[in-house]
Structure 1
């Protein structure tokens, strides 16, 4: 069970951050700066910031080991404010070197396996995280991804990185692309053991749906999703099936399809 995997961790308080020693943890990268849609993680929908809803969706589904990885920029004081409001840990590091930020956040918290999430993906499916952790528990590898054409819906997915894999990547990767996006080096490097996983239900295989927030049109769509589920009392508890059914219902304004190419493989 996912809850039992998370609930066995030891949590210690250090200053205003949670310092956690654990086998699995979610490290969620989020910052206010964005070239396409500045301030999107702080955008208000259903009464709270988008990042607040993302965190609460994790917590309400028993995913309590959450660390927000943000930058030292003063703009990201808002991200820290949201993390503290949700009572989750945070780490502040480089604004541009996201790989370094991830590595140091994992190292200081002694995380053995990192579930990597992005603040661009507030509709993450908790069942995807469950599947990643169960897959790693049953058969450990360096890297597991659910982000591919036979995986979860674009914008609802995640990946898992073993700390030793992340450490080698941090010490080896040099290009701007590798430092900014964390996983390109991991995907290229043949020395890592890797696996792809996907949802059991064929109903949930929908490569035609794009729910990541890069553009204002994406933000408007996600806002409609949260406000719909808030209106029926399920703002943080809706399932992937319910999300897909809403998408297909005709109740949403879907104006972002032309902006995304989806997964490459």
Structure 2
């Protein structure tokens, strides 16, 4: 039985806290370009699709798509619909969801999530929430059937905006698993939502990328062990939470 695995990356120019962040430079290229470099190294993927909103404001993002990166344009606010239709266009059986504000996503970790999903009787697997991985390694993998059900039934605004809440709020309908990591490194904020986040990520790329463009989790651990003050740059930035998230206090 065939299983076509497609990574779908959602991106837009109109970020609330840091507009245009996906085009901000990292080691001489747009943030989104660097992120896509890493996604393309994830083992087990059959295709990668960039899912962006319609409208001229987002045209600069579309130019980053290439012969190796497919493009889908859809609704800006209903991201669940955009993701579903991108997966439909790509004929996906399994969907990996990563967001464009995670330019340090680790291909090995994301590949581990996919492997765990494929080897377990679940509809949804993830690193996110209380898994112990840094914020910015967040990877979700789910069946197209689960996505289709969410697309048909989800009615809450946050379920349409954030794609997967309908799925992870219903573990009785969608059996789930989470990859764990110890020690708990959730205090490492490696996603880009604020100028402080960008400053940290930019310094990471400037330090490691020229010598090792394929750097990953191990190299980040070494860097922060040698230069722990880097993590202080965005330590005051809070991580938003959605209602019902596992680990929510």
TM-score, scaled to structure 1: 0.84
In 2, distance between residues paired with 1:120 and 1:114? 18
Distance (whole Å) between structure 2 residues aligned to residue 81 and residue 87 of structure 1: 13
Partner of 1:247: 224
Aligned to 1:78: 60
Q: CA offset at residue 247 of structure 1?
A: 2.3
Distance 1:36 1:150 in 2: 25
How has the CA–CA distance of structure 1 residues 146 and 59 changed in structure 2, closer, same or farther, with 3 Å as cutoff?
same
Provide the residue aligned with 1:102 in structure 2: 83
Q: Deviations over 1:51-82 (max 9, x none)?
A: 00011122245556211010102121111101
Out of 205-214 and 102-111, give the one that drifted further: 205-214
Unaligned runs of 5+ in 2: none
Deviates more, 1:123-132 or 1:52-61: 52-61
In structure 2, relative to structure 1, the CA distance for the partners of 1:64 and 1:82 (3 Å cut) is farther
Deviates more, 1:141-150 or 1:153-162: 141-150
> Partner residue of 1:208?
187
CA distance in 2 between counterparts of 1:187 and 1:133 reads 17
Partner Cα distance (1:144, 1:253) in 2: 28
Structure 2 vs 1, CA of residues 159 and 208 (structure 1 numbering), >3 Å: closer, same or farther? same
Which residue of structure 1 aligns with residue 124 of structure 2?
A: 143
Identify the match of residue 217 of structure 1 among 181, 196, 206: 196
Hey, what's the Cα distance between the residues in 1 that align with 2:162 and 2:42? 27
Q: Cα 1:64–1:139, aligned 2, differ >3 Å: closer, same or farther?
A: closer
Is 1:198 the counterpart of 2:180? The answer is yes
Aligned match of 1:121 = 102
Shift of 1:261: 3.9
C-alpha offsets along residues 122-178 of structure 1, whole Å, 9 cap, x if unaligned? Answer: 111111221122112212411111113334211112011110000000000112111
In structure 2, how many angstroms separate the alpha carbons of the residues matched to 1:262 and 1:248?
27
Tell me, which stretches of 5 or more residues in structure 1 are unaligned?
1-8, 10-21
What is the distance in 2 between the residues matched to 1:226 and 1:64?
A: 27
- CA deviations 1:23-67 (Å, max 9, x no partner) are 211101111111110000000121100000011122245556211
Counterpart CA distance in 2 for 1:60 and 1:144 is 19
Decide which of 165, 180, 184 is 2:146's aligned counterpart: 165
**1:91-113 per-position Cα deviation (integer Å, ceiling 9, x unaligned):** 10001000000000001111011
How far 1:260 sits from its partner (Å)?
A: 2.0
Distance 1:162 1:151 in 2: 24
Query: Contact 2:150/2:167 (CA < 8 Å) preserved in 1?
Result: yes
2:5/2:46 contact within 8 Å kept:
no
Question: Mean Cα displacement is larger for which, 49-58 or 136-145?
Answer: 136-145
What corresponds to 2:50 in structure 1?
Answer: 68
1:12 alignment partner in structure 2: none
Matched residues in 1 for 2:231 and 2:180: separation?
27
